[in-house]
C-alpha cells in the first residue's frame, strides 16, 4: 500500500494542487467570507493532503521516518495559525491565510528534500514570524492614526539602514546585500521595502498636502517623494543589489502614477528604467554576465550559462507530472534553495504543479488589488497597491529569471524560497494586507 501511494504521489500531488488552485479563483465569485467558507474548508483539506503526502514520500524514499515528526509539528503550526486568525481576526481574508499556509507547505517539502538543515532553520523562522505577525493586523486596523504620523521617519529609517548595508554589509556574489548585527545575518532591503511603501503612501496621500484645486499632492511633496525614493534606489544600486533596486523602482512608479493619475508618469518611468538598465549593464560586470547567459545559456554551458541551463534542463525534465520527490537532480543547480526553487518544484513535482504555484501567487495579487480598489482611505489604498506591486513584481522577476523570460535578478520566490529575512518580511506584508482587509470590511 505504501509503495503504491509513493508511486502515485506525483499524480496525486498534481491533482491536489489543481483543485486547490481552482478554489482560489472560485471564491472571487462570492462577495462575502461566509459564502466562501465551504471552499476555504476544501482548501484546508487539500493543503493537509499535499503537505502530509509530500513528507510521507520523502520519509519512504529516504528511509528517514523522523521526517514524519517534522511534518506533524508543521501541521500543528498551520492549524494553530488558521484557528488563531479565525479567533483573533474573524474579519480577515481566509484566502490569504490559506495561500500562505499552502505556499509554506510546498516550501517545507522542497527544502526538506534539498537541505534538511535549511528546512529546519526556515521552519523556526516561520514560527517566530507568524507569532510576531499576529500583532500586525491589530496595529493596522486599530492604531491607523499613529501610522500616518511617522511618514518621514519611514523614509529616513530606510536610508539609514541602506547606508549601513553599503558601508558595513558583507559581500555576497559581488553584491553587498547582507548585514550582521549581534551575530544575526539578514537582508536589510527586505524590511526597507515595507518602510518604503509606507513612506511613499504618506507622502502622496496626506490630506494636509493635497492641492484643493487639482486634488493631487502638492508639487513640493511630489518632488520630495521622488528624490527620497531615488536615493533609496541609488543606494541599492551602489550595493549592487539590482534586483531589489528594480522592485523599489517599479513600486515607486506605480504608487506615484496612482496618486497623480497621469500616463506621463508611466512613460517617464519606462524611459528611466531603460536608461538605468543600460547604465547598469555598462557599469556592472555581473549584469553583463547575466545578460550573456540569458541570451544563450548553452553557449558557455560549463561557465556563465551553467546555472540557467541547469534550470532549463530541470524544467524540461519534469514534464507535466514531475519526476517525483527525490527522483530528480535539482541539486545540480547552484543556489537552488533560494533563487531556483521554482525549477526544483517543476522538476520533481511537475510543470502543472509549478503552474498552479504561479496561479496561487496570482490569486494573492488579485486579492491585494481588490482590497486596494475597495478601500476608501487614500493612505491605505496606496499602501495596499504598493504591497501588491511589490509582491507581484518579485514573483515575476523570480519565475521570469529561472524560465529565461528575463535575465536573472537574484530575488527569491516569496514564501517558497529559502531565506529567513525574505519569508519574515513577506509574512509581515501579508499581515499588513490582512489589517487593510479588516479596514475594508468595516468601511
Q: What is the pLDDT of residues 54-92, one digit of tens each?
A: 999 999 998 888 999 999 999 999 999 999 988 988 888
Helices 306-318 and 378-402, packing angle to 10 deg: 90
Residue 251 and residue 386 in contact, taking contact as beta carbons nearer than 8 Å: yes
Q: Around Cβ 5, how many Cβ atoms within 10 Å?
A: 13
Residues in the chain, how many?
443
What per-residue confidence (pLDDT) applies to 206?
72
d(CA 322, CA 346): 7
d(CA 140, CA 268): 33
Question: What cell was used for 220?
Answer: 513640493
Question: pLDDT tens digits for 306-340?
Answer: 888 999 999 988 888 888 898 888 888 888 998 89
273 burial class (0-12, 13-18, 19+ CB within 10 angstroms)? middle
The predicted model scores a pTM of: 0.93
CA 382, chain centre distance (Å): 19
Q: Specify which residues 172 forms β-bridges with.
A: 175
Confidence of residue 6 (pLDDT cuts 50, 70, 90): confident
Q: Specify which residues 186 forms β-bridges with.
A: 179
Residue 398 and residue 339 in contact, taking contact as beta carbons nearer than 8 Å: yes
Mean pLDDT calculated for residue range 244-248: 92
What per-residue confidence (pLDDT) applies to 133?
92
What per-residue confidence (pLDDT) applies to 3?
65
Mean pLDDT calculated for residue range 137-166: 84
DSSP, residue by residue, 97-143 = HHHHHHHHHHHHHHHHHH-HHHHHHHHHHHHHHHHHHTTHHHHHHH-
Mean pLDDT calculated for residue range 409-428: 91
Q: Which residues contact 349 (CB under 8 A, 6 or more apart)?
A: 10, 13, 14, 17, 106, 110, 318, 322, 325
- Alpha-carbon separation of residue 73 from 51, 52, 96, 168, 170 (angstroms): 12, 11, 22, 38, 34
Residue 350 and residue 324 in contact, taking contact as beta carbons nearer than 8 Å: no
- Alpha-carbon separation of residue 168 from 164, 185, 186, 229, 234 (angstroms): 6, 12, 13, 22, 17
Residue 443 and residue 376 in contact, taking contact as beta carbons nearer than 8 Å: yes
d(CA 182, CA 5): 47
Q: Sheet of 170-172: strands edge to edge?
A: 170-172, 175-181, 184-186
* Beta strand 184-186 pairing with 175-181: antiparallel
Q: Specify which residues 210 forms β-bridges with.
A: 217
Question: What cell was used for 407?
Answer: 535575465
The full set of domain ranges for the chain reads 1-134+284-443, 144-263
Amino acid at each position: 500500500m505504501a509503495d503504491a501511494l509513493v508511486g502515485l504521489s506525483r499524480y496525486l500531488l498534481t491533482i491536489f494542487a489543481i483543485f486547490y488552485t481552482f478554489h482560489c479563483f472560485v471564491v472571487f465569485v462570492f462577495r462575502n467570507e461566509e459564502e466562501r467558507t465551504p471552499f476555504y474548508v476544501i482548501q484546508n483539506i487539500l493543503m493537509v493532503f499535499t503537505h502530509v503526502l509530500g513528507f510521507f514520500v520523502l520519509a519512504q524514499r529516504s528511509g528517514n521516518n523522523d521526517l514524519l515528526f517534522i511534518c506533524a509539528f508543521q501541521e500543528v503550526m498551520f492549524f494553530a495559525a488558521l484557528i488563531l486568525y479565525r479567533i483573533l481576526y474573524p474579519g480577515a481574508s481566509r484566502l490569504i491565510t490559506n495561500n500562505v499556509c499552502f505556499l509554506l507547505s510546498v516550501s517545507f517539502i522542497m527544502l526538506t528534500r534539498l537541505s534538511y538543515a535549511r528546512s529546519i532553520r526556515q521552519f523556526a523562522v516561520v514560527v517566530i514570524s507568524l507569532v510576531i505577525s499576529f500583532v500586525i493586523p491589530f496595529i493596522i486596523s486599530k492604531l491607523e492614526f499613529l501610522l500616518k504620523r511617522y511618514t518621514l521617519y519611514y523614509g529616513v529609517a530606510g536610508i539609514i539602514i541602506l547606508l549601513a548595508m553599503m558601508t558595513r554589509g558583507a559581500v555576497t556574489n559581488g553584491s553587498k546585500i547582507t548585514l550582521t548585527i549581534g551575530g544575526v545575518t539578514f537582508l536589510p532591503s527586505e524590511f526597507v521595502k515595507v518602510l518604503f511603501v509606507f513612506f511613499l503612501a504618506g507622502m502622496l496621500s496626506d490630506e494636509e498636502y493635497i492641492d484643493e484645486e487639482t486634488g493631487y499632492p502638492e508639487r513640493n511633496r511630489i518632488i520630495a517623494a521622488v528624490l527620497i525614493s531615488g536615493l533609496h534606489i541609488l543606494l541599492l544600486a551602489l550595493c549592487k543589489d539590482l534586483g531589489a533596486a528594480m522592485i523599489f523602482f517599479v513600486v515607486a512608479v506605480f504608487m506615484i502614477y496612482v496618486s497623480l493619475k497621469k500616463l506621463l508618469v508611466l512613460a517617464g518611468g519606462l524611459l528611466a528604467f531603460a536608461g538605468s538598465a543600460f547604465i547598469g549593464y555598462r557599469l556592472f560586470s555581473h549584469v553583463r554576465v547575466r545578460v550573456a547567459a540569458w541570451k544563450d545559456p548553452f553557449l558557455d554551458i560549463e561557465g556563465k550559462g551553467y546555472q540557467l541551463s541547469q534550470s532549463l534542463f530541470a524544467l524540461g525534465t519534469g514534464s507535466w507530472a514531475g519526476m517525483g520527490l527525490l527522483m530528480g537532480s535539482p541539486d545540480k543547480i547552484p543556489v537552488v534553495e533560494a533563487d531556483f526553487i521554482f525549477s526544483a518544484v517543476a522538476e520533481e513535482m511537475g510543470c502543472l504543479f509549478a503552474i498552479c504555484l504561479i496561479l496561487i501567487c496570482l490569486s494573492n495579487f488579485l486579492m491585494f488589488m481588490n482590497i486596494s480598489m475597495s478601500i476608501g482611505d487614500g493612505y491605505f489604498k496606496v499602501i495596499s497597491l504598493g504591497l501588491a506591486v511589490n509582491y507581484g513584481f518579485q514573483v515575476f522577476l523570480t519565475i521570469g529569471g529561472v524560465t529565461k523570460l528575463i535575465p536573472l535578478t537574484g530575488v527569491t520566490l516569496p514564501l517558497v524560497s529559502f531565506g529567513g529575512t525574505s519569508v519574515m518580511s513577506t509574512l509581515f506584508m501579508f499581515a499588513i494586507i490582512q489589517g487593510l482587509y479588516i479596514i475594508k470590511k468595516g468601511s
